[in-house]
Amino acid sequence: MGFVNIYSQRTGISVAVVCFVNHTGVREKYEKEINSSKSESESECHHSTTANVSKPEGEYIYSKSEQGHILSGFFYGYIISQIPGGRMAEIFGGKRIFALFTAIGTIGTLLTPLGVHLGFVPVLISRILVGFGSGAVFPIMHAIWGQWAPPMERSKLVSISYAGAMMGSVLSLATSGALCEHGFAGGWPSIFYITGITSALWLILWIVFVSDSPSNHRFIGKEEQSYIIDSLKGQVSDKSKKSVTPWTKFIRSPAVLSICFANFTSDWGLYTFLTVLPTFLNDVLKFDLGSNGLFSALPWVGLWANMNISPIIADYLISSNKLSVGLTRKLMTSIGAFGAAICLIGIPFTDCSSYKITIALLVAGVTLSGCQYSGFLVNHMDIAPKYAGTLFGISNMIGAIAGVSPSVVGLIRTNVASVSSQWMIVFFLSAALLSSGAIVFIIFGSGDLQPWAKEEEDTEEGQEMINVPENGRYPAEGDIGTSPQAAS
């Protein structure tokens, strides 16, 4: 539920911009720019899902450049808080730090309508706040799961919780258009007020029911508590004991660097889909705003579904000793990256006359990419559970650099004359990056607990019970004990 709220705050702005900007005023002010670039896409395809309907304009005039910065403002804040958030969670505990950063993002969301009214700089600051609060939550949650998730249940637990992010995107895309037209407080402001208030109410539940670890949870059963604590012996650190973070080990580890590169290439593909898809549907397939919102949401429904299915498969492969941890992570990453890349390569060869094939490829590509959430994205906890938050912060910060992808797409669309050539370059570039990330992870990735991530006081018994043995396989679940329901 927390990630549903966070991603609703993140994606609502893309629809709200369409509502609060006076596009007629922008066209009049930048008429030369518009006239020089509009005709070709209109001549290439005349398909339309509905008749054109005149709709009321927004009251604010923001240039295309300013609109781009408003949409990118999230990433300006997002990249800053990755490492600090994860490290703070490891030192002070994830519960309070998660609540702190979520509160920052919620405040930024609630201030967004006021920022829009005041001008470009205030609205940009509000979006940076949202990004700053949101950027830390993934590494913080990684640190929390490092204290909670038994090794053979990591894929399932992590992916299910992160699947809420995709559901947040779906809900936001599906409802924001209606709120723009029929919402309270003038329509589009209700997008931010609803998501902000919902997040504030959810924070109360988080504070009451969540704890940093099983050992201090008020509502957990004794059997479940013992199972989780025993399963993580030798992997989690005692916060009362000071330890030096091995930063040089991080940057010299092929396993860590391969995760970082895979994170960057995966995020490039994700951000391309997330930010560019509505434009592609409008430019090439000629969908109206209502159909655009519907078809933009469909791929994220598929991604959400796969993020709940693929971890079950991954955990089964590990717990049944069908595959080692490392091979399982590489397999899931490969299916996600190569599958999405193949779909991306096919999309430029379709057009509005075969729009059903285009939509099928888009849905299939985004859906398949969800397998990566059971691949490299949980691998931090395999190789270094005690530093999972910091490592995720590092890799996700590098991944956030892919937030420049919409700007790159803008440059391509500005400097390449043919519309079909524009999108061919966009999708081929994303496919190439996704494939390269998977290849690097296959070669250099690992499923073994790294030597620098082990606790100094590890006992021989603890090592035998939990640490990945030389063959890269965990003991069967029955060798440890029957697993009750893990913490949620």
Instruction: Report d(CA 280, CA 235) in Å as an integer.
Output: 46
Lowest-confidence segment of 258-267, 374-383, 437-446, 452-461 by average pLDDT: 452-461
φ, ψ for residue 182, nearest 5 deg: -125, 0
Mean pLDDT to the nearest integer, 63-91: 82
Question: Which among 204, 213, 8 has a CA at the least distance from the CA of 99?
Answer: 204
- Kindly state the tokens that stand for 132: 């700053």
- Tally of CA atoms within 13 A in the half-sphere of 475 that contains its CB: 14
| pLDDT tens figures, 342-367 | 999 998 888 777 888 988 998 999 99
Mean pLDDT to the nearest integer, 109-138: 93
Which residue is it, tokens 């008749």?
51
User: Would the pLDDT of 115 be above 50?
Assistant: yes
Instruction: Report d(CA 31, CA 383) in Å as an integer.
Output: 55
Taken in order of first residue, the domains within the chain and their CATH numbers are 2-25+59-474 (1.20.1250.20)
Between residues 51 and 418, which one has the greater pLDDT? Answer: 418
Which residues lie across from 21 on neighbouring strands? 60
Confidence of residue 236 (pLDDT cuts 50, 70, 90): low
pLDDT, averaged across the chain: 79
Instruction: Report d(CA 97, CA 90) in Å as an integer.
Output: 10
Instruction: Report d(CA 450, CA 256) in Å as an integer.
Output: 10
In this structure, which amino acid lies at residue 479?
D
What 3 state SS string does the chain have? CHHHHHHHHHHHHHHHHHHHECHHHHHHHCHHHHHCCCHHHHHHCCCCCCCCCCCCCCCECCCHHHHHHHHHHHHHHHCCCHHHHHHHHHHHCHHHHHHHHHHHHHHHHHHHHHHHHHCHHHHHHHHHHHHHHHHHHHHHHHHHHHHHCCHHHHHHHHHHHHHHHHHHHHHHHHHHHHHHHHCCCCCCHHHHHHHHHHHHHHHHHHHHHCCCCHHHCCCCCHHHHHHHHHHCCCCCCCCCCCCCCCHHHHHHCHHHHHHHHHHHHHHHHHHHHHHHHHHHHHHCCCCCHHHHHHHHHHHHHHHHHHHHHHHHHHHHHHHCCCCCHHHHHHHHHHHHHHHHHHHHHHHHHCCHHHHHHHHHHHHHHHHHHHHHHHCHHHHHHHHCHHHHHHHHHHHHHHHHHHHHHHHHHHHHHHHCCCHHHHHHHHHHHHHHHHHHHHHHHHHHCCCCCCHHHCCCCCCHHHHHHCCCCCCCCCCCHHHHCCCCCCCC
User: Would the pLDDT of 377 be above 50?
Assistant: yes
Lowest-confidence segment of 117-131, 207-221, 224-238, 277-291 by average pLDDT: 277-291
User: Would the pLDDT of 475 be above 50?
Assistant: no
What pLDDT is stored for residue 288 in this prediction? Answer: 57
Instruction: Report d(CA 173, CA 406) in Å as an integer.
Output: 18
pTM for this structure? 0.70
* Cα separations in angstroms, 45 against 37, 282, 355: 15, 11, 11
Which residue is it, tokens 């955990």?
315
- Kindly state the tokens that stand for 396: 């996700």
- Contact criterion met (CB below 8 Å) for 206 and 95: yes
Instruction: Report d(CA 167, CA 162) in Å as an integer.
Output: 9
User: Would the pLDDT of 340 be above 90?
Assistant: yes
| pLDDT tens figures, 440-471 | 999 999 999 999 887 654 444 444 444 444 44
What pLDDT is stored for residue 468 in this prediction? Answer: 45
Q: Residue 322, Cβ neighbours under 10 Å: how many? A: 12
- Kindly state the tokens that stand for 347: 């999309």
Burial label, 107 (beta-carbon count in 10 A; 0-12, 13-18, 19+): middle
Mean pLDDT to the nearest integer, 364-372: 92
- Contact criterion met (CB below 8 Å) for 303 and 370: yes
User: Would the pLDDT of 389 be above 80?
Assistant: no
| pLDDT tens figures, 282-295 | 667 766 555 556 67
Give the angle subtended at the CA of 145 by the CAs of 144 and 151, to the nearest 5°. 150
| pLDDT tens figures, 184-207 | 888 899 999 999 999 999 999 999
